[in-house]
Chains A and B, each alone.
Chain A
Amino acid sequence: MASRPLQEPAFLILSALAKGPSHGYGIAKDVEESSGGRITLRAGTLYGAIDRLVTAELVEVDHEEVVDSRLRRYYRLSAEGGLRLAVEARRVETQAREALERLAARNVVAPVIA
């Protein structure tokens, strides 16, 4: 059964967790950096998105720790989540490569994003 494209915030959250288990604040910082500041996931929105991913069993709770009297709950990518992210990343990569090849054929050069 073909999987549906992931929404961008979900894709970026899964991508952030692909580096390893992370807490909510760490995920939000990673999403902001990897989107070049374009996407800012505030706390309410972020934990709603994480809950949806946990409900869908794409993300799991890894462990909890107390740092400076503040609870940090770490999340990790589930096996299913890793697979889903890989499939989605391949799909996006294939589409992007095709678009760049077509543009190159028209002598349109894509700018390099720093």
Chain B
Amino acid sequence: MTGQRMVVHPALVRDYERLCAAFPRAYRREHEVELLGHLVEAAPAGATRASTAERVDLLRSAAREWLLAPVGSTPRQRRDATRWLLVLVPLVLVPAAVTRLAWVAAVIANGRGMANILASEPAAPAWAVWSVAMLVLLAGGLRTARVLATVAAVMGWVAIGALCVAGHESKAFIEVGWVVGLTFAAVVVAQRAGWERPLGSPVWRRVGVALSVVAAGFVGWSAVSPSLLTTGNSWSVAVLGLPRLTSTSGVSVALIIAALAALVWSRSARQAAPAMVAVVTAVISARADVFGDRVIANGQVSVGHVFAVLALAAVTAAVARWIVNRLDEMALPRELLRTSTT
């Protein structure tokens, strides 16, 4: 094919360019020229429009790339993001999972039934499935963990929907942030499972096993100390005697900002920042009265507030991804200079 000229109709090229414009900007920067070259080379002689199969293929791929944009648009970004998120997302979700499962254990030990549990904590089954997914992941079962994590995320969204339909928008407002976290957990495990390589990192797996043992211990403790149900305190306050520390207190906010800044500072870890920003934003915005007028305290939460949390999380993730992409671009000349001088 080298040196052989191909005559291509300009309308066909414009059609392909319009279809390629559907992909995220970072993906286009990496692949657009290559993609266009492939499409033009593969086009039948005399074609003036992209075929239906090509349109469907490109638009479906573009939709997939947009869904995965928070974890990066290039292989290096996704590899770094997946490695970090596989550790960070579970670290963030474990306290929420332990709290809820500990409550479930205490309720069951107190003789109350599943109906009571589901009425008060409809996302409890999702957390249970997610916990099993993480244990399976630690055991190396990537594909099974992918299925379980996806089921957990879907169950979480079903719970949010059920809460909204049942008129418990306040509860949905508070919980939707954690379900965003469950969704990212499913995406990251699916990404990692798609590598077609078994899990490595024996150090992180040992840490994960240790954390699982500690978490299981707290859940078990709650089952034998059902007085947690009556004190109104969380297990961290009642059992460990820790001071009450909400996610919106000054110390917590400072710690979260410091942690996110540390993430962005590292070239590999910063790829995980957009997803972490989305989860943190979704979890905190409902608790921090971001939408004003003390909507929870005044019982004024509507389904619109739930969607607003999701929109805020999406916007902050997009801004974080833009910042990370710009930092990567600024780092590229230094990296090229370093590799050319070695």
Binding site for B on A (CB under 8 A): 1-4, 6-7, 10, 23-25, 28, 42-48, 51-58, 67-68, 70-73, 84
> Contacts A48-B64, A68-B5, A71-B37: A10 and B57 contacting too (C-beta < 8 A)?
no
> Contacts A55-B79, A55-B195: A43 and B35 contacting too (C-beta < 8 A)?
yes
Q: Which residue of B lies closest to A60 (CB)?
A: B75
Known: A56-B196, A68-B3, A73-B34. 6 other contacts (CB 8 A): A4-B142, A28-B42, A42-B54, A48-B65, A51-B75, A72-B34
Query: CB-CB < 8 A to B132: which residues of A?
Result: none
A44:B62 contact, CB within 8 angstroms: yes
A47:B197 contact, CB within 8 angstroms: no
Query: Quick one: which of A1, A44, A52, A58 has the most chain B CB within 10 A?
Result: A44
A68:B194 contact, CB within 8 angstroms: no
Which of the residues B2, B39, B82 comes within 8 Å of A43, measured between beta carbons? B39
Query: CB-CB < 8 A to B53: which residues of A?
Result: 42
Query: CB-CB < 8 A to A57: which residues of B?
Result: 79
Query: CB-CB < 8 A to B76: which residues of A?
Result: 55
> Contacts A1-B140, A70-B41: A47 and B34 contacting too (C-beta < 8 A)?
yes
Query: CB-CB < 8 A to A53: which residues of B?
Result: 196
A55:B196 contact, CB within 8 angstroms: no
B34:A71 contact, CB within 8 angstroms: yes
Nearest-neighbour CB distance to chain A for B125, whole angstroms, equals 28
Q: Which residue of A lies closest to B79 (CB)?
A: A55
Closest 3 CB pairs of A and B: A44-B61, A70-B37, A56-B195
A4:B33 contact, CB within 8 angstroms: no
> Contacts A1-B140, A4-B143, A25-B42: A68 and B6 contacting too (C-beta < 8 A)?
yes
Nearest-neighbour CB distance to chain B for A98, whole angstroms, equals 24
Nearest-neighbour CB distance to chain A for B199, whole angstroms, equals 8
Query: CB-CB < 8 A to B303: which residues of A?
Result: none
A48:B197 contact, CB within 8 angstroms: no
Which of the residues A3, A54, A70 comes within 8 Å of B198, measured between beta carbons? A3
Which of the residues A4, A42, A56, A70 comes within 8 Å of B36, measured between beta carbons? A70
Could you jot down 18 A-B contacts, CB within 8 Å?
A6-B196, A7-B196, A24-B35, A25-B38, A43-B57, A45-B57, A51-B74, A51-B78, A52-B75, A52-B194, A55-B79, A56-B194, A56-B197, A70-B33, A70-B40, A71-B34, A72-B34, A73-B34
What 1/0 mask marks residues of chain B from 271 to 299 whose CB sits below 8 Å from any chain A CB?
00000000000000000000000000000
A88 and B60 CA atoms in complex are apart in Å by 29
The answer to whether the Cβ of B230 comes within 8 Å of any Cβ in the partner chain is no
The answer to whether the Cβ of B4 comes within 8 Å of any Cβ in the partner chain is yes
Q: Which residue of A lies closest to B197 (CB)?
A: A56
Query: CB-CB < 8 A to B198: which residues of A?
Result: 1-4
A84 and B57 CA atoms in complex are apart in Å by 28
Query: CB-CB < 8 A to A46: which residues of B?
Result: 38
The answer to whether the Cβ of B171 comes within 8 Å of any Cβ in the partner chain is no
Query: CB-CB < 8 A to A55: which residues of B?
Result: 75-76, 78-79, 82, 194-195
Query: CB-CB < 8 A to A56: which residues of B?
Result: 79, 194-197
Query: CB-CB < 8 A to B34: which residues of A?
Result: 23-24, 47, 71-73
B6:A43 contact, CB within 8 angstroms: no
A67:B140 contact, CB within 8 angstroms: no
The answer to whether the Cβ of B58 comes within 8 Å of any Cβ in the partner chain is yes
Nearest-neighbour CB distance to chain A for B83, whole angstroms, equals 10
B79:A72 contact, CB within 8 angstroms: no
Query: CB-CB < 8 A to A71: which residues of B?
Result: 33-34, 37
Nearest-neighbour CB distance to chain B for A70, whole angstroms, equals 4
Nearest-neighbour CB distance to chain B for A108, whole angstroms, equals 33
Q: Which residue of A lies closest to B81 (CB)?
A: A55
Which of the residues A3, A7, A68, A73 comes within 8 Å of B4, measured between beta carbons? A68
Query: CB-CB < 8 A to A24: which residues of B?
Result: 34-35, 38
Nearest-neighbour CB distance to chain A for B283, whole angstroms, equals 28
> Contacts A3-B198, A10-B196, A67-B2: A48 and B37 contacting too (C-beta < 8 A)?
no
